[in-house]
Amino acid sequence: MLKRYLITDPLYYTSDAQICAQKLREITQKHRVDYLCLRDKHVVDYAVFATEVLALLPQNLYANVLLHGDYRLAHRLGVLGVHLPSNALHVVEEAKALGLFVVVSTHTLREAEEAQKNGADALTFSPIFESPGKGKPVGLEKLKEINDKISLKCFALGGIVKPAHVKACEALGVYGIASIRLFLD
């Protein structure tokens, strides 16, 4: 079954922990979410934000949470793992040593190969479709190439906002889809 990975963004989920947690509770009552990444690059104190959101989430959802970038905080808060940006490939081994599930953002075959070599559990490959501020989409052919060459769990990411996008990615045999906007009503 195709895994579904929700990634938050303050533009859609806010940087207010209480509002963000409420939106996540509402979304997960309507949609199946297998993984959830708390991603907010604009909040003043990410550790406080993440701690407050997590305190407001039901336990069954908390168990599937990944924090964005801060693997030490992820370990300290006892969440499933961390989602690392592509410029943090060098810390995959440290995060794995803490027992974390590690997802790495990738945009090229070289990055995907490095994520695999460093021991990541999964990767996102993006942007597949047109996505605001993310540059030219790489498309489904490139996604298939990555998925076929890399043994890591591969999440398609970027512009996945319609059921047709999900089906197109699923047809390629990827592990899952990741999206910010797909889960919003």
Q: What is the pLDDT of residue 59?
A: 84
User: Where would I find the beta strands (DSSP E) of the chain?
Assistant: 3-7, 35-38, 65-68, 81-84, 101-106, 122-125, 153-157, 176-179
Residues near 106 by Cβ (< 8 Å), separated by ≥ 6? 86, 112, 115, 123, 124, 125, 126, 146
Q: What is the pLDDT of residue 111?
A: 97
Q: Is the peptide bond before 163 cis (omega within 30 degrees of 0)?
A: no
CB 156 within 8 A of CB 174: yes
pTM for the model? 0.96
Q: What is the pLDDT of residue 7?
A: 97
Alpha-carbon span 88 to 140, nearest angstrom? 25
Q: Alpha-carbon dihedral of residues 47, 51, 57, 63, nearest 10 degrees?
A: 80
Q: What is the pLDDT of residue 65?
A: 97
Q: What is the pLDDT of residue 91?
A: 98
Alpha-carbon span 119 to 102, nearest angstrom? 8
Sorted by where each starts, the structural domains of the chain and their CATH numbers stand as 3-179 (3.20.20.70)
Q: What is the pLDDT of residue 134?
A: 72
Residues near 27 by Cβ (< 8 Å), separated by ≥ 6? 6, 33, 183, 184
pLDDT tens-digit profile, the chain (185 residues): 999 999 999 999 999 999 999 999 999 999 999 999 999 999 999 999 999 999 999 888 888 999 999 999 999 999 999 999 999 999 999 999 999 999 999 999 999 999 999 999 999 999 999 887 778 999 999 999 999 999 999 999 999 999 999 999 999 999 999 999 999 97
